[in-house]
Amino acid sequence: MSEKKQLITEKDFVFVQQDEKIHDLKFDTKPTTYFKDAMRRFVKNKSSVVAGVIIGILILLALFVPIFNKNDIVTSQEDYRFLPPRWPGFQNTSVLNGRRYVENIIYDATDEDETKHHPVGYDNEAIVGEVKLTEGTTNFASPYASGGKVLISSDRSSFATGIQTNKITADFALNDYYLEIVTDTELNRDNNYEIYVLVYYNGPNSDATLVVLQEQSMKYGTFTTNLSDVVLSSRPAAILEDEFTVQIGVYVPATNSPDGTRAQLYLNKLAVTTTAEENPFELHNYTDANELLLRRSDKEKIPYRYQTVISGNQMLYEGRVIRASFEYDYYKAVYGEVNRIIGISDLLNARRDGKVKFDLDPAHSDHTKPDFNYQIVMDTFEVVNDKTSQYREITFAHPRQTVKAGMTTIYVYNYDVVVSRYREMGYTREPFFLFGTNQRGQDFFKIVFNGLRTSLILGFSAAAINIFIGLVWGAISGYYGGTVDILMERFTEILGGVPWIIIMTLTILHLGNNFGVFLLALILTGWIGTASVTRSQFYRYKRREYVLASRTLGAKDSRLIFKHILPNSIGPIVTGAVMMIPGIIFSEATISYLGLGLQGLTSLGVALSEVQAYIYTDPYLIVTGSLIIALLMISFNLFGNGLRDAFNPSLKGVE
Amino acid sequence: MGKYILKRVGLVFVTAFIILSLTFILMKLLPMDRPIGLAPDQLRYYNTQVRLGYMVQVQGPLMPGQTVDITVNDGGKLYYYNQVPVMRQYLSWLRNVITRWDWGVSSRLERNVPAIEIIARKLPVSMKLNIIALFVSVPLGFLFGIIAALQKNKLPDHIISTGVMIFISIPSFVFITFLMLFFAYKLEWLPSQWPPEGLSWQMQAKAYVIPVMALSFGTIAGFTRYTRAELTEIMSSEFLLLARTKGLTKRQTVIRHALRNSLVPIVPMIIGQFIGILSGSMILEALYGIPGIGSLFVTAITNKDYNVVMVDMALYTTIGLFAGLLVDLSYGIVDPRIRMGARK
């Protein structure tokens, strides 16, 4: 084993005590106990010691994080949701800095002022570095998109589809109206379609005559016609007037194909143009598929709701958008400075608390006068306590408002104030959330370790009770043997036959999901393992000579059990106890994933199963939680293995 | 030995009977779940319950002070039902199950569909998944175990042993989280959810990768540890020394003597692991959206469809019990040195 090969000389082969009598000598070495011996062996096992240290650190964190971390993990704070992890000292690194690279966010470039262009839903102030803009397309209707095509498609292959404008009334003799319809030449394929106009000769609600402008064909591209000519020339002879109500439509017949291809058409443009100043078709024109879709969904703009799909669906196809990719500082976005309207009383309170300093206009601040009021002299505003004052600067004083409350008149003074939000939340700087925040805007670091505390308390107490019951049960069963043993064995066999998940589910369904019930559910079958280990240990040791010797000296059963047999069998039992804790934490986590987790108290399992849903959007939550539980499990198992090897060296490396 | 097997089989049946009875009674003691859906559906459900002997219909109109458990209003006509006492329900249940194999109908998940039918539909997916996981993990575990044992206390052994320690400790739901994050969301090689039916077989096959990996990591580690332990013990045994002294090379001794002997306890181990995989897959199925009995258990519990929960529990219990029995018996069959039923 050892690499150091010693040179063995003749001298080493001399017997240490050849002629001395040593049987009545006292040992020079100190006597060692079973535990001390095991301890010595354990310390040699480095990985187990490391595991023990990690467990110690985790336990300390679980104990102290919930005490010293003052972040609120009870109430929900929507604004602070999903902040990525931010660690002190990592501000200038690429990880754990509270920033995330956000990709392909639709960019709002609709404002004429270029400085106001921003990614939708993001704040320009908190963007770090350059915004990379790319041209892109979207198939979703968006107010920030332009262009695109409308895809009209039927629901089934046996359905026809099409698009049709609302009814529009115009004088066709007064002006020339030109119709232009553009169908996409690249995307359209194998679908016959027809362009038609419906003309209502006797008012908008009468029957209409169908005038086909383009016969069923697969001729894609631009179609233009003089709409006035068509309408006027196709009117019946009896009708002399020039003003008609018309509807323009495109119709795609059903395919009825056995392979399920559906009627569909990509339409780029449908517009009627005229030289007249007021074009009644103008609201009904569309050259922008996106506009069409948006306005249909927008109730405010009812006059624009001009399109009717004959059957089937319409969707935007390839609307053009600008997409932005950039690094975003989430903390700055929610904890930075913001302009807000603040009432005078809040400012006065801040002045009373010594946070800020300002003078009131003396001309109006005389209490004795009937129309006294508070008006700040803006130049005198000054931040006194830089650390706690959330009000940084007054930018604008709103004019006085008067509110009549019964007989009295109240003057209201509001100010635009720059508010520092992290100071407002009681932090002295932008906070560090080591594991980020969860879906309720709570510090996930605290949640995890708070949960770990619950899980560990559950684990340790359940393990303690399980060991106690298992010891007593196994000792009785193993020591006495015979009928008692057989009966007790049958009982444990039946109980052990029920999968633990079923026992736990049934218990929790019956008694609710609080801590006590969880403890009970874990105990119901948890002790069986210890009991069987204890029983077999008792079987092994009860027939030993030293037990017999003690019995012949008149020792009682209890003395034999507790003084002679149990201490010898304690090794595997201690190991079993340590190994039981990760098992309990695992069971608890599994039950939480079933949706029956602890209520009121957050456990590690509850914390994990809650953030499982955000695995795609905010993976740091589930990753940190999972890493902690994995670390815990590995450490406990390593520690337990080390203990087992220490207590029973002959088993080393067996499992 | 035959007597011993008979005794064990009988005992397992008795155990299963006791457990299932207790489960049924406990489930029936839970607050009654009303089925969801329209009144005709509910009526059908209650009439089935009456037919199976779990409820009785009370003829209306109700007397003053008379209470009923359930009132169903179908188009203005009221129907009243009462639950019969639990023990009588239990007797009816026994009769139904034994004589007609009727385990009741689903109340909420798939209204009025026999629960056993739902289970039968979901079972193949779970079984397929578990068997694939087993077929993946047995050879791999065996391979790693052999490598570790033959290279004992050298670098490969240290790497494998460390890996075993890590993989055996981490729960499978943590594995699937990381696998999903890496292979499905980051690399986008594999689907992040179980695909719906009717997709191409490539898609279907791809969907197995993540859950099978998550399920088999722990099992591979288990097999590795077991094989390594078994083989190391045999490698230091005397008959192997004898084989070497009579002139066999190390390779020959390993293949002819050591491996064969170390295989013996692996067989029961495989059966034992199968139960482990089956119960471990419950959460995985729910997380990955696999339509198996595990995710059925989860949805049935969240929807309070207790009839389905009951049948699912019964299935898990019986599989567990019979697998345990098989493990015990196979030890004796595979390894003749173990005398079954022998007194200690």
Instruction: Show me where the domains of chain B are located.
Output: 34-106, 117-343
Decide if B9 touches A, using CB distance below 8 A: no
Confidence at residue A1, expressed as pLDDT on a 0 to 100 scale: 45
Confidence at residue B73, expressed as pLDDT on a 0 to 100 scale: 80
Q: Is residue B279 within 8 Å of residue B316, measured between CB atoms? A: yes
In a domain, A534, yes or no: yes
Cα distances (angstroms) measured from residue A405 to each of A399, A402, A605: 19, 10, 54
In a domain, A570, yes or no: yes
CB contact residues (below 8 A), chain B span 293-332, against chain A: 297-298, 301-302, 309, 313, 316-317, 320-321, 324
> Do residues A166 and A281 share a domain?
yes
Confidence at residue A257, expressed as pLDDT on a 0 to 100 scale: 79
In a domain, A205, yes or no: yes
Q: Is residue A416 within 8 Å of residue A395, measured between CB atoms? A: yes
Residue A654 reports pLDDT greater than 70:
no
> Do residues A383 and A523 share a domain?
no
Average pLDDT score over residue span B110-133: 89
Q: pLDDT tens-digit profile of A30-39? A: 777 777 888 8
Cα distances (angstroms) measured from residue B8 to each of A122, B3, B13, B177, B270: 68, 9, 9, 41, 20
- The structural architecture, per CATH, of the domain B117-343 is Orthogonal Bundle (1.10)
Chain B residues whose beta carbon lies within 8 Å of the beta carbon of residue A539: 344
Amino acid at A595: G
In a domain, A362, yes or no: yes
Provide the domain count of chain A.
3
Q: pLDDT tens-digit profile of A60-109? A: 999 998 888 888 888 888 888 888 888 888 888 888 888 888 888 888 88
3-state secondary structure of A283: helix
Of A341-345, A472-476, B54-58, B334-338, where does mean pLDDT reach its minimum? B334-338
> Do residues A237 and A166 share a domain?
yes
- Two tokens at A628? 């902690």
- Two tokens at B44? 């059908």
Q: What is the DSSP string of A315-344?
A: EEESEEEEEEEEEEEHHHHHHSEEEEEEEH
- Two tokens at B14? 């008795």
| A566-591 and A500-511 helices, crossing angle to 10° | 60
Chain B residues whose beta carbon lies within 8 Å of the beta carbon of residue A638: 165, 169
Q: Give the A-side interface with B, CB within 8 Å.
A: 493-494, 497-499, 501-502, 505-506, 509-510, 539, 582, 586, 589-590, 593-596, 612, 615-616, 619, 622-623, 626, 629-630, 633-634, 636-638, 641, 653-655
> Do residues A196 and A343 share a domain?
no
Q: In what order do the strands lie in the sheet with A391-397?
A: A337-343, A414-420, A391-397
CB contact residues (below 8 A), chain B span 213-232, against chain A: 225-226, 229, 232
Amino acid at A179: L
Residue B329 reports pLDDT greater than 90:
no
Which one of A361, A393, A424 terminates a domain? A424
> Do residues A478 and A381 share a domain?
no
Q: Is residue B176 within 8 Å of residue A590, measured between CB atoms? A: no
Smallest Cβ–Cβ distance between A497 and the set B173, B229, B321 belongs to B321
In a domain, A33, yes or no: no
Backbone angles phi, psi at B319, to 5 degrees: -60, -45
Confidence of residue A628 (pLDDT cuts 50, 70, 90): very high
Which helix (H) or strand (E) segment holds residue A500: the answer is helix A500-511
In a domain, A3, yes or no: no
Confidence at residue A60, expressed as pLDDT on a 0 to 100 scale: 94
Query: Exposed e or buried b for every residue in B26-46, given b needs 16+ CB within 10 A?
Result: bbbeeebeebeeeeebbbbbb
Confidence of residue A595 (pLDDT cuts 50, 70, 90): confident
Smallest Cβ–Cβ distance between B181 and the set A590, A619, A638 belongs to A619
Confidence at residue B270, expressed as pLDDT on a 0 to 100 scale: 79
Smallest Cβ–Cβ distance between B177 and the set A493, A539, A622 belongs to A622
Residue A655 reports pLDDT greater than 80:
no
Residue A237: which domain range?
Answer: 149-317
> Do residues A453 and A581 share a domain?
yes
Of A162-176, A280-294, B214-228, where does mean pLDDT reach its minimum? A280-294
Give the CATH number, domain containing residue A552.
1.10.3720.10
**C-alpha Rg value of chain B to the nearest Å:** 26
Q: Is residue A60 within 8 Å of residue A452, measured between CB atoms? A: no
Cα distances (angstroms) measured from residue A11 to each of A2, A8, A16, A19, A405: 21, 8, 11, 17, 111
Confidence at residue A55, expressed as pLDDT on a 0 to 100 scale: 93
Chain A residues whose beta carbon lies within 8 Å of the beta carbon of residue B23: 498, 502, 506
> Do residues A582 and A474 share a domain?
yes
Which of A509, A513, A609, A651 would best serve as a mutation to test chain B binding (most B beta carbons within 10 A)? A509
3-state secondary structure of B323: helix
- Two tokens at A500? 């633990």
Calpha distance A552→A191 (Å, rounded): 104
> Do residues A523 and A618 share a domain?
yes
